[in-house]
Amino acid sequence: MTVVINMRDGVDERGIKIAARFILEGKLVAFPTETVYGLGADALNARAVRRIFEAKGRPADNPLIVHIADFSDLGRLARDVPREARLLAERFWPGPLTMVLPRNENVPDVTTGGLDTVAVRMPAHPIALALIRASTPVAAPSANISGKPSPTLAEHVIDDFYGRIECIIDGGETKIGVESTVIDLSSERPTLLRPGGLPLEEIEKVIGGVEIHPAVRGKLVDVARSPGMKYKHYSPNARVIVVEGKRENVRRKITELVHEYRADGLTVGVMATEEYDADEFFHLGSTEEEVARNLFRALRELDKRGVDVIIAEGIEEKGLGFAVMNRLRKAAGYRIVWA
Ligand code: TXA
Ligand code: MG
């Protein structure tokens, strides 16, 4: 049975108590963060964490992020906190930043996928923080079946997990809509492993130049450091195609593609920042923040409406646009049309 707790109007202490008890009993609780919903379990309970992998269908070598609510928890998880990590934590936590650090012995192997590092983040969401404070550090991947778009609404979690986990906290729509930025601070040079809700430009203002792991750009090399990068991601059932290039050209190309696919008898959905004539249309908004917030929802909704093909308009790769384009290209399996 799944208990759904409504907290759309804010933190409810009784609900938090119920959810925290589930976590402490080794059960699974989905909860909102400012990025996407997480599927949580006690990070230090190996058996509980194993259940996350089973529920998601997630490969065991793809490690989880451990969520904390207080800086003092960091010492329980990380063996060493380098200077850059301290600076970034002071500046951006709580917030959409995950740091990979040398791991402490007491973090179970299942949580870290057997690596000697641990990924840690302090989420900026009152429900997430209350849940962690009332229980323990919580390991949580995004609360979607492995390979599906991440959930930005409790309905998405219900679609994927109702009846299969003990508890879902409904906190309404998540604010940022793409997952946290992941940066590796366990080796000599700070390295970006995943662009996300905290723009890289902001990080570089604090610690200077950051290397970008080649897999971020879709090159399938040296994936050992972030095993997650080698797996299929964010894919709805429909075939996704991203159109990138100059604005006018993109507009013309998308219109052309819609006609071609429809002529082939396919149902076509478009997700874009301006209106298009297609079988189904999802308006992503106009700012990069709006596009980030709507991205995963658009993929899930167009899929539900039963389209065969989703044509997505690319946006500029700056600020949150870096994360948006990273997720879109993956969702498209790198089917990119240059206009
Ligand atoms: O915003 C987010 O980060 C959300 C919310 C729930 O906090 N969580 C999330 O978790 O997106 P997940 O599991 O979907 O993505 C975690 C990413 C994966 O790409 C994983 O490979 C990487 O972080 N990761 C985790 N631990 C790592 C480690 N020790 N070394 C390298 N990469 C790691
Ligand atoms: Mg995920």
Q: Which ligand is nearest to the CA of 179?
A: 1
| pTM for the model | 0.96
Tell me, using a 6 A CB cutoff, whether residue 38 lines ligand 1.
yes
In the chain the first and final C-alpha atoms are separated, in Å, by 49
Residue 223: is its pLDDT beyond 80?
no
CA of 136 to the centre of ligand 1 (A): 18
Task: Determine the Cα–Cα distance for residues 98 and 141; give it in Å rounded to an integer.
Answer: 12
Identify the sign of the CA torsion 47, 48, 50, 54.
positive
Element (H, E) at 288: helix 288-304
To which H or E segment does residue 53 belong? helix 46-56
Provide φ and ψ at 148, rounded to 5°: -90, 160
The three-state DSSP-derived secondary structure of 79-90 is CCCCHHHHHHHH
- pLDDT tens for each residue of 158-209: 999 999 999 999 999 999 999 999 999 998 899 999 999 999 999 999 999 9
Tally DSSP H helices, then E strands, for the chain. 11, 16
The per-residue pLDDT for range 13-65, each reduced to its tens digit, is 999 999 999 999 999 999 999 999 999 999 999 999 999 999 999 999 999 99
Q: What is the pLDDT of residues 128-149, one digit of tens each?
A: 999 999 999 999 999 999 999 9
* Interval 314-338 mean pLDDT: 95
The residues pairing with 96 across neighbouring beta strands, listed in sequence order, are none
227 lines ligand 1 (CB under 6 A): yes
State the pLDDT confidence band at 236, using cuts at 50, 70 and 90.
Answer: confident
Query: Can you tell me whether residue 61 is helix, strand or coil?
Result: coil
pLDDT at 226: 58
Give the CB-side neighbour count of residue 51, counting CA atoms within 13 A: 20
Radius of gyration of the chain (CA): 20
**Pocket lining: 118 vs ligand 1, CB cutoff 6 Å:** yes
Sequence ranges of the domains in the chain: 3-228, 239-338
244-258 pLDDT per residue, tens: 999 999 999 999 999
Inter-axis angle of helices 83-92 and 200-207, to 10 degrees? Answer: 130
Average pLDDT, the chain: 95
Question: Which pLDDT does position 231 carry in this prediction?
Answer: 63
- Per the annotation, does 186 bind a ligand? no
Residue 252 annotated as binding site: no
Domain 239-338 of CATH type 3.30.1390.20: no
ipTM over 0.90: yes
Nearest to 288 by CA among 262, 257, 325, 253: 325
Answer yes or no: are the C-beta atoms of 140 and 64 closer than 8 Å: yes
pLDDT tens digits for range 266-324: 999 999 999 999 999 999 999 999 999 999 999 999 999 999 999 999 999 999 999 99
Residues found in the chain: 339
Let me know: does 166 contact 157? Beta carbons within 8 Å.
no
Give the pLDDT band of residue 125 (cuts 50, 70, 90).
Answer: very high
Label residue 233 by pLDDT band (50, 70, 90): confident
Is CATH 2.40.30.10 what the domain over 3-228 is classified as, yes or no? no
Tell me which ligand sits closest to the C-alpha of residue 101. 1
